[in-house]
Amino acid sequence: MTPTVSRKSYALTWLGLLGLTLLTTLLGFIDMGPFNMMAAVGIAAVKAALIAGIFMHALFEGKLVRVVIAAGVMWFLIFVIWTAGDYITRGWLPFPGK
Amino acid sequence: MSPEIAPLALHEQFANPEQQRETASLGMWIFIVSEMMLFGGLFVAYTVYRMYYPQAFTEGSADMDIVLGSVNTAVLICSSFTMALAVHSAQMGSRKLVNIFLLATMAIGCVFLVIKFTEYYKHYLDHKAPGVWFDSAAANPGKVELFFVFYFIMTMLHALHMFVGLGLLTFTLLRNLAGKITAEYYNTIEVTGLYWHFIDIIWVFLYAIFYIPGLHP
Amino acid sequence: MQAATSLVPKNYLTEKQGILSWLFTTDHKRIGILYTGSITAFFFLGGFFALLMRLELLTPETNLVQAETYNKLFTMHGIIMVWFFLIPSIPNTLGNFFIPMAIGAKDLAFPKLNLLSWYVFMLGAGITIYALCRGGVDTGWTFYTPFSTSYSTTYVVAAAIGILVNGFSSIATGLNFIVTIHKMRAPGLTWFRLPIFCWSMYATSMILVLATPVLAITLLMVAVERLAQVGIFDPALGGDPVLFQHMFWFYSHPAVYIMVLPGMAVVSEIIPAFSRKPLFGYKAVAFSSIAIAVLGFFVWGHHMFVAGTSVYSAMTFSLLSYFIAVPSAIKVFNWTATVYGGAVSWDTPMLYAVGFIGLFTIGGMTGLFLAALGLDVHVTDTYFVIAHFHYIMVGGTVMAYLGGVHYWWPKISGKMYPEGIARLSAATVFLGFNLTFFPQFILGYLGMPRRYAAYPPEFHMLNVLSTAGASILAVGYVMPLFYLLWSWKYGPAAGPNPWRATGLEWKTESPPPKHNFEVTPVVTYGAYDYEALKEELQLVS
């Protein structure tokens, strides 16, 4: 059974992940206001994509697996956006409690 | 495909080994999606509170040990690397390499847990353990405590999943020692690998939301 | 019909006998029966609490039970009915039994996981029963904070853990079904040749996998808050009770689709079979099932219109709640179109299915009233809401469940149930149900609040009608217990296809052999191809 991914790809991914971790930490020391959180989570998302794509072979599996992953991400986003949306839009009207 | 492997491995509801492999993999991916929603709920709650109390949450995050956190992140990334190599070795049919990489993954996983529990103990000594011993000099101690509540619940849930992962790795190691993992049938280790990598992904996000915000004053 | 006993082939019931062969089975059919026993017991337990509630509500004053006890009654009724009856009802009984058969498979993808799911279910039930025996819970099945986390003195943590554990059983079931339908279909069985039963069960499974974990984490947070005395939803510490509601309803709204989609799945099988016609608009119904599952995740805020969410959030949820009525309506239109022009036979399953369509439509349309923001402010937390969801859950799902049990009874048991008494039972259920719940729409509109043991005397008459209906309904539910079990032993043998219906499950023996089919079928036609199968179905008696 030929392996799905070569050891070299794994090693490069490993190094990339370590590098991105370092980047996250260094960026954390710079004050970028609201962009700090976005940058940290954004880089985390890139790391997650690398782990999923290479280590978990998601890039090499069939369409069904990628649809399943996309569904999971999408449903989490629905949850966070609709919930945060309530909190963000509070107080937009001049009525108390709205 | 060697005939003496097939009867051992093929379960009766399947027509062929490829169907069984795809089924096992799909099953684990769907389980992973359910775990995304499980942790997702906590991430949503954290997001809401962070939006409401950015100051208090930054203060809470400043009490995190960035060195231990970063080391732990690197540690888990290394364990994912060894896990990927373990699956690779199984696909190549090298039983001995599988053993080595599985043991390495387990050892590195234990290192993570040791560091994690050291951190918990340090938090306890610093009076930052909600429900047990918490006090804070901050202006809004209740809201800083909220940060720590989320920190403890989310990382403890993650640690629980690590323990389960160690169990799965042990089970996979035993199966490999018994000769049940081969280049033709490696579903067990592949599925264990998927689970282990996912736990790593969760940690990557936990690191970003708990350790990074407090780095700048 | 009795062949010589030595020539009777072994079926899944006679294959291996003795209690251990049942407790350690991995056969999806036996597991389906294990679940049926469990959920039937829980149905009657939850129903018993309902009966006590209705007896208390016979008079305006609080005289049968104290208010605190009444709180526990409606809580336990809700918890048991939602999590230990409705959610597992059709999926874990009929779904377990018939999904593999409908797709021509020998079993589910993960048979051992299936058995584990039943044990986990029973563990969750055991923990919840423990909470019940220690005095119950009084928070309502909705566990709203901060009452559940800070003020209630009842066994909230035990109940929360029981439900959480039960949730893992749901997730395992959903996972099993999704993988099975993707990977285990017989040769030639393309997606658009699948019976709608499979499409709707697939949609249900999507919700099971995606929504249930959120319930688990929400209840875990409630338990942690109570046990560790930390304040996640405690306003004193900066927590937000409305956040609990967001998290709870993110699961619990899709959960109601977990409860109704399987009912629709069953009805989609019964209607074509008893109209002897293909299902009208197959693709529309198939895609509607998926649409309901997906859209169901976008509307949870309609349970929170008066909770203090922002107006824009409320408006968004209201609009989306209107949208979700569309796929349900599409299904109702297509079922009706299927019956039109068909050779209809009014056997018991058909009575239940048609009853479902009517009652579900009423329940669904009253949901639209509730989705309108202004109207909701008036009727929320009143008996209007209670009538709305009971029309769907009881008038819909329970009737579909009974219809499915009757429809597939000959296949499961190999025997035919007595048709006359079954029809009488269906009529009793229909009459009792409407007498119980229709007055509640009026009560709610007139302003009677829910979850109150006492009410103003002007509501007395309607409450008496409702209680009278409940007692008739109870009789209607008890009757099948007797005649179905009687028929298992004494009923006439049913043969492979007594209804002359399409569907792979009817091509094998009744009861089926352990591996369902002697030879794996090869499918060359659509799910409801009565035209192509005209010859074949006439031959089978």
Per-residue pLDDT tens over the stretch C214-259: 999 999 999 999 998 888 998 887 889 999 999 999 999 999 999 9
Q: For B186, name the nearest residue in chain A, comparing CA atoms only.
A: A1
The helix-helix angle for B17-52 and B187-210 (nearest 10°) equals 10
- Output the DSSP codes for C257-307: HHHHHHHHHHHHHHHHHHHTSPPTTHHHHHHHHHHHHHHGGG-GGGG-TTT
Partner-chain contact B197 A56, CB within 8 Å: yes
Partner-chain contact C297 A78, CB within 8 Å: yes
State residue C234's pLDDT score.
86
State residue C231's pLDDT score.
82
Q: Is B10 left (phi over 0), alpha (psi -120 to 50) or beta?
A: beta
Q: For B27, name the nearest residue in chain C, comparing CA atoms only.
A: C179
- Output the DSSP codes for C486-529: HHHHHSPB--S-TT---SGGGGS-SSPPTTS-SS-----S-TT-
State residue B9's pLDDT score.
66
Phi, psi of B138 (to 5 degrees): -70, 165
State residue B130's pLDDT score.
87
Partner-chain contact B197 A52, CB within 8 Å: yes
- Residue A1: pLDDT band with limits 50, 70, 90: low
User: Higher confidence at residue C2 or residue C88?
Assistant: C88
State residue B4's pLDDT score.
42
The residue whose two tokens read 């939602």 is C82
State residue B154's pLDDT score.
97
Which residue, among B60, B41, B38, has the nearest Cα to B50 in the 3D structure? B60
Distance CA B208, CA B73 (A): 10
- Residue B5: pLDDT band with limits 50, 70, 90: very low
Which residue, among C319, C140, A2, has the nearest Cα to B183 in the 3D structure? A2
Residue C541 has pLDDT above 80, yes or no: no
**What are the Cα distances from residue B103, in Å, to A13, B79, B186?**
21, 10, 17
CB B197 within 8 A of CB A55: yes
DSSP A54: I
Mean pLDDT over residues C149-165, rounded?
94
Chain B residues in contact with C229 by the CB 8 A cut-off are: 131
Mean pLDDT over residues B132-142, rounded?
80
Which residue, among B154, C114, C213, has the nearest Cα to A75 in the 3D structure? C213
Listed by start position, the domains of chain A span 1-61, 67-98
User: Higher confidence at residue A12 or residue C5?
Assistant: A12
**What are the Cα distances from residue C114, in Å, to C25, C42, C169, C184?**
10, 20, 9, 15
Partner-chain contact A86 C210, CB within 8 Å: no
Instruction: Name the β-bridge partners of C340.
Output: none
Distance CA C360, CA C174 (A): 24
> To the nearest whole number, what is the mean pLDDT of chain C?
94
Chains that touch A (3 or more CB pairs under 8 A): B, C
Mean pLDDT over residues C279-287, rounded?
96
Phi, psi of B212 (to 5 degrees): -80, -40
Cα A20 to chain centroid, rounded: 13
Exposure string (b/e) for A65-95, b if CB count within 10 Å is 16 or more? beebbebbbebbebbbebbbbbbebbeeeee
State residue B12's pLDDT score.
78
Q: Which of B34, B39, B160 to mutate to test the interface with C (most CBs of C within 10 A)?
A: B34
> To the nearest whole number, what is the mean pLDDT of chain A?
91
Which residue, among C536, C539, C541, has the nearest Cα to C521 in the 3D structure? C536
CB C537 within 8 A of CB C278: no
ipTM here: 0.93
Listed by start position, the domains of chain B span 15-215
State residue C518's pLDDT score.
86
**Chain A closest CA to C195's CA: distance in Å?**
21
H or E element in which residue B133 lies? strand B133-134
Mean pLDDT over residues B99-105, rounded?
97
CATH 3.40.50.2300 at C25-539, yes or no: no
Chains that touch C (3 or more CB pairs under 8 A): A, B
Listed by start position, the domains of chain C span 25-539
Flag whether residue B149 sits within 8 Å of chain C, measured between CB atoms. Answer: yes
Q: Write C447-450 long-range contacts (CB < 8 A, 24+).
A: C447/C382, C448/C382, C448/C383, C449/C381, C449/C382, C449/C383, C450/C381, C450/C382, C450/C383, C450/C385, C450/C386
CB C410 within 8 A of CB C416: yes
CB B193 within 8 A of CB A33: no
Chain B residues in contact with A40 by the CB 8 A cut-off are: 208-209, 212-213
Chain B residues in contact with A7 by the CB 8 A cut-off are: 85, 88
Partner-chain contact A79 B44, CB within 8 Å: yes
Q: For A6, name the nearest residue in chain B, comparing CA atoms only.
A: B88
Per-residue pLDDT tens over the stretch C105-140: 999 999 999 999 999 999 999 999 999 999 999 999
Q: For B202, name the nearest residue in chain A, comparing CA atoms only.
A: A48
Residue C32 has pLDDT above 60, yes or no: yes
Partner-chain contact B26 C213, CB within 8 Å: no
Cα three-residue angle B71-B77-B82, rounded to 5 degrees? 125
Q: For C299, name the nearest residue in chain A, comparing CA atoms only.
A: A82
Partner-chain contact A92 C312, CB within 8 Å: yes
Partner-chain contact A85 C316, CB within 8 Å: yes
Alpha helices in B126-186 (DSSP H): 141-177
- Residue C3: pLDDT band with limits 50, 70, 90: very low
H or E element in which residue C401 lies? helix C399-413
Flag whether residue C122 sits within 8 Å of chain A, measured between CB atoms. Answer: no
DSSP C449: B
Cis preceding-peptide flag for A34 (omega within 30 of 0) = no
Residue C269 has pLDDT above 50, yes or no: yes
State residue B132's pLDDT score.
82
Instruction: Name the β-bridge partners of B128.
Output: B134
CA dihedral A85, A86, A89, A95 (to 10 degrees): 170
Residue C139, judged by CB atoms within 10 A of its CB (0-12, 13-18, 19+), counts as buried
Within 10 angstroms of residue C531's Cβ, the number of other Cβ atoms is 10
CATH 1.20.120.80 at B15-215, yes or no: yes
Strand ranges (E), C125-196: none
Mean pLDDT over residues B100-105, rounded?
97
Task: List the single residue in A71, A79, A89 with the smallest CB-CB distance to C310.
Answer: A89
User: Higher confidence at residue C402 or residue A32?
Assistant: C402
> To the nearest whole number, what is the mean pLDDT of chain B?
91
Cα three-residue angle B180-B185-B190, rounded to 5 degrees? 95
Per-residue pLDDT tens over the stretch A75-89: 999 999 999 999 999
State residue B182's pLDDT score.
87
pTM: 0.94
- Residue C8: pLDDT band with limits 50, 70, 90: low
Per-residue pLDDT tens over the stretch C285-314: 999 999 999 999 999 999 999 999 999 999
Chain B residues in contact with A29 by the CB 8 A cut-off are: 215-216
Task: List the single residue in C111, C182, C221 with the smallest CB-CB distance to B26.
Answer: C182
A25-84 residues touching B, CB cutoff 8 A = 25, 27-31, 36-37, 40-41, 43-44, 47-48, 51-52, 54-56, 61-62, 64-65, 68-69, 71-73, 75-76, 79-80, 83-84
- Residue B35: pLDDT band with limits 50, 70, 90: very high
State residue B217's pLDDT score.
62
Task: State what percent of residues in chain A have pLDDT above 70.
Answer: 97
**Chain B closest CA to A59's CA: distance in Å?**
13
Partner-chain contact A90 C246, CB within 8 Å: no
